[in-house]
Chain A
Amino acid sequence: LLDELWRESCAATYGLEREQFREILERVGTAQNFGLAPEATASRQQQVNYFRGLRFADLVLARACANGHQGAWEHFLSVYRQPLTRAAIAITGSETLGRELADQLYAELYGLTTRDGVRRSPLDSYRGKGSLMGWLRTTLAQRHVDHHRRTRRELPLDDPADGNEPQAAAPEPQKPASELLLLSKAIEEALRQLAAEERFLLAAYYLDGRTLLEIAPLLRVHEATVSRKLHRVTGDLRKQIVRNLQAQGLSKPAAQEALGADPRDLDLNLKKILQFSLPDAFTEKAVPIRGMQ
């Protein structure tokens, strides 16, 4: 299998020997545990299936570029330079910012940043699961989002001494605090019982304001299917909240009435509730806010 993959990927054209190719495969496979759960042990057939699903042409090109191969860089620039610039312009919405973002990424990809005296290229982190162009687009989007979040936090706050904005009146409690606490607890339990896809759907649609057209390609379903799923999830969530309230001692009419509470009165951290992934699932640290180069 190794010889076959080595010949198919044309690794020899970029100066990658067979042993180097084997090391790359071992690193890629062990880093992702061959696509299995972290505690699972991959059989030989599972390893073969995992390697068959990789994009070896892109993987070899990325590793050759990370190693500084001249021919690989020429091929990379001829194929990916203009698409990368267009993607950066599309992401930023500005040609100037897009070109600047693409140039920064080029410098990073070329390995201008060094760590402990060793050239570091982000292309080393590419493992061939998706396409190289998709990886470049995602990397650009990550850079742009991180930059946007950093600069947004550096914006000056509005001066409250101006007096232009009306002072918000003190909210009057319309319902007893105990009832609101029961409602918050019921909502939290109902949200935690949802599947990951349903929580993603709710967050993308209601928190981010994404459209059905934007959500549908990520789930590989039609927009109408996304709409139906949303309708079903919200209906089930409402029923589950009522059931949770009833389990906490409220009657059904009282539980129905409690659902009419003002959401602003609830003390709920939806971001914290919806984040319910396994610990240690991801190893990439977010870019430090002020320490990003």
Chain B
Amino acid sequence: MNSTSQLDLHPDADSLNAFAEQALAVPEREQILAHLAGCSRCRQVIFLAQQAAARRGSGNPAHNSNPRAWFGTGVLPGFRLRLWRRRWRWWSPFIHGARRKCRNWRRPCRSVSEAVPTPAPQEQASAGAAHKPAQALAAKSLAGNAEFAARRRTPEELVQQSAPSAAPPAEPGASAPFSWGEPVRFCRLRLSPPQQETTAQFQPEPAVAAWQQEQQQATGATRPAPTPRAGFTKEHESGSIHRPRQPPGCLGGAAHGAAVPVHARQQLRNRHATAIRRIGSFSQSESAQAAQRPGGCFQGNRPASHAGN
């Protein structure tokens, strides 16, 4: 049988269907492929059957025996939408609860200070002598709160306290800057014994004291302390917020709210306005002089001898 007469023989429907469904062994598949390469009739048959199968998948699936196909082909979109709504209704309490948990997790110091009541100094002293980890942790947080409460006093109070102080000054950088959104693992607590915190007088840092003196000399009067943000009054009073310490003249803390004092901002605004005013007057005078010149053009700050050239 030559190849020409081979065109008159075709694989049966079972073989073609098995080929389309990938159910043939390799030798049979090679035979079918070799025949399909030269037989346009069988190629047409197999492509037509394939198209019919594809349309059956996208046609009316009410007769489809697989219920999952109803949802996959969009048979019952309304029902699917209702199903999703029901599922959302079931899961919404858990999702809201998880969101609240996340929100609390992002405020570690606040939650710790609210959970642990402020003890008496005697209790803090006894807690400092204790060796239990939980008590030590609570004592450390309380020590940090007390330190912050002492730090956010007004400069007058700080000056008054620094004068009769006999205790050693606090180490700069002992309380690390802490922003509002940082997780708890970045919250460095003070490691000194809480008994020393409660009994020792607060000593301001040398950089802070020098900056306050400069401010007093510059302004000639003592300015009020920076006003805390309206929403954080309660936390400030309880001392649970660790505000970052900013060096004098540092504007990098402006993004954190009240890091730059109000008077410093006002001073910067005044300088800026003065500079703009001077530039404006200078340019007006220059332009008026240039208008009086014969050329009528602006010559800049060049000497009069060069202006005529």
Contacts and interface: CB of A to CB of B under 8 A. Distances in A.
Interface of A: 32, 35-37, 53, 79, 82-83, 86-88, 90-91, 122, 125-127, 129-131, 134-135, 137-142, 144-146, 149, 196-197, 199-200, 202-204, 207-208, 210, 214, 217-218, 220, 271-286
B191 interface: no
B12 A125 contact: yes
B22 to A, nearest CB: 6
Contact of A279 (B6, B14, B59): B6
B15 A282 contact: yes
B146 interface: no
B49 A278 contact: no
Contacts of B4: 272
Given A129-B18, A199-B38, A142 B11 contact: no
A138 B33 contact: no
Contacts of B2: 279
A149 B65 CA distance: 35
Contact of B47 (A214, A272, A275, A277): A214
Given A196-B33, A197-B33, A281-B31, A141 B52 contact: yes
Given A83-B56, A145-B45, A203-B43, A129 B51 contact: no
A185 B94 CA distance: 75
Contacts of A131: 17, 21
B11 A284 contact: yes
Interface residues of B, number: 54
24 contacts: A90-B51, A122-B13, A125-B14, A126-B13, A129-B17, A129-B24, A141-B45, A196-B37, A199-B34, A199-B38, A203-B36, A204-B43, A208-B43, A208-B47, A214-B50, A271-B40, A274-B38, A275-B7, A276-B37, A277-B37, A281-B11, A281-B31, A282-B31, A286-B41
Contacts of B41: 145-146, 149, 286
Contacts of A125: 12-14
B16 interface: yes
Contacts of A141: 44-46, 48-49, 52
Contacts of B45: 138, 141-142, 145
A130 B27 CA distance: 16
Contacts of A204: 36, 43, 47
A45 to B, nearest CB: 14
B207 to A, nearest CB: 65
B51 A91 contact: yes
Given A218-B20, A282-B11, A138 B37 contact: no
6 nearest A-B residue pairs (beta carbon): A275-B38, A199-B37, A129-B18, A277-B34, A141-B48, A130-B17
B107 to A, nearest CB: 50
Contacts of A220: 22
